[in-house]
């Protein structure tokens, strides 16, 4: 019940992050007191006081590196079930600690909860990937990967969502196996701009420095190269996407050869790459 209440509070949270976060942290105390009193739970005030701290410990330890939005990006149903599981686990653990009961039963309950949340800890990467897969699927962005055994993927960064500014895009980082030279691949909808326009006014502008200038030239149909003082960028259309391939270590001669290596990808494949 308390886990579902947290989901309701999250979905109807205040636009002020500080207020919304504190409401979600403090609400379980009052709800636990009311629920314990209604069901006539022995030592209900102690259970209600301890349970939220157990819930916080579960989130911090078992779901380490996962944020509240990550969990809710699983979808309302799966996110609600996960929160409900945490809420139930925290209150059952608090009850087992505070309420008088048979010692064997007490340790059995606590042991079962520990095993369950250790399992959740070991599967937190799978939870994160499932949330990332859902975000990528719903982003509406073209999904592209570098299909070459000469490069290994390093990270994926999502530049979309309600908290991001600028044009929505996906950033993928790769390292060339023979010398570890790195490239960045940015994927955007093809309607954002033409390759020529994107080259003239770079999108996304990863440097965020107006003092850095570059020279653009067309190397083939719908493929433009921008040469800057310390890096090179290639802009092109690929299917339904506008792509930018950038590097400060791969040569200008080699960078356009990346384009034929691009291939369609699934949200699951990209989510498995993970973030920085």
Q: What is the pLDDT of residue 14?
A: 64
Q: What is the pLDDT of residue 187?
A: 95
Q: What is the pLDDT of residue 199?
A: 93
Rounded Cα gap, residues 108 and 103, in angstroms: 8
Within the chain, which residue ranges are assigned CATH 3.30.200.100?
141-271
CA distances 157 to 235, 271, 272, Å, are 19, 10, 12
Rounded Cα gap, residues 43 and 49, in angstroms: 10
> Is omega for the bond preceding 204 within 30 degrees of 0, making it cis?
yes
Q: What is the pLDDT of residue 76?
A: 67
CA distances 95 to 35, 67, 169, 193, 275, Å, are 13, 27, 47, 59, 38
Taking the chain (276 residues) in consecutive chunks of 10 residues, what is each chunk's mean pLDDT? 70 66 69 80 85 83 74 72 79 87 87 86 84 88 92 90 70 94 94 93 72 87 91 93 94 91 94 78
At 194, give phi and psi (nearest 5°): -80, 160
Starting from the edge strand earliest in sequence, which strands make up the sheet with 151-159, in order? Answer: 151-159, 169-176, 182-189, 241-247, 232-238, 223-228, 214-220
Q: State which fold the 141-271 domain adopts.
A: Phosphorylase Kinase; domain 1 (3.30.200)
Kindly report the CA angle at 18 between 16 and 24, in degrees rounded to 5? 100
Q: What is the pTM of this model?
A: 0.73
| 3-class DSSP assignment, residue 33 | helix
CA distances 117 to 28, 58, 148, 202, 203, Å, are 20, 7, 38, 46, 43
Q: Is the dihedral of CA 54, 56, 57, 58 positive or negative?
A: positive
Q: What is the pLDDT of residue 216?
A: 94
């Amino acid at each position: 019940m308390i886990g579902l209440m947290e989901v309701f509070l999250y979905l109807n949270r205040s636009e002020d992050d500080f207020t919304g976060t504190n409401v979600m942290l403090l609400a379980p105390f009052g709800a636990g007191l009311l629920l314990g009193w209604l069901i006539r739970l022995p030592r209900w005030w102690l259970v209600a006081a301890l349970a939220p701290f157990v819930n916080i410990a579960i989130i911090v330890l078992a779901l380490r590196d996962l944020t509240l939005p990550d969990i809710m990006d699983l979808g309302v149903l799966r996110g609600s079930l996960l929160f409900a599981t945490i809420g139930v686990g925290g209150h059952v653990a608090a009850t087992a600690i505070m309420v008088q009961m048979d010692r064997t039963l007490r340790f059995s309950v606590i042991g079962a909860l520990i095993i369950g949340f250790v399992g959740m800890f070991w599967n937190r990467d799978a939870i994160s990937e499932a949330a990332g897969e859902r975000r990528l699927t719903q982003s509406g962005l073209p999904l592209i990967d570098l299909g070459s055994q000469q490069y290994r993927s390093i990270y994926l960064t999502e530049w979309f969502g309600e908290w991001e500014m600028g044009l929505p895009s996906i950033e993928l980082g790769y390292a060339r196996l023979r010398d570890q030279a790195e490239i960045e691949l940015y994927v955007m909808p093809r309607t954002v701009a033409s390759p020529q326009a994107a080259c003239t006014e770079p999108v996304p502008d990863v440097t965020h420095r107006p003092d850095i200038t570059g020279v653009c030239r067309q190397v083939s149909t719908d493929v433009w190269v921008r040469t800057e003082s310390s890096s090179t960028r290639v802009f092109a259309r690929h299917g339904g996407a506008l792509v930018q391939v950038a590097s400060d270590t791969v040569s200008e001669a080699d960078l356009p050869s990346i384009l034929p290596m691009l291939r369609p990808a699934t949200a699951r494949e990209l989510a498995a790459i993970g973030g920085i």
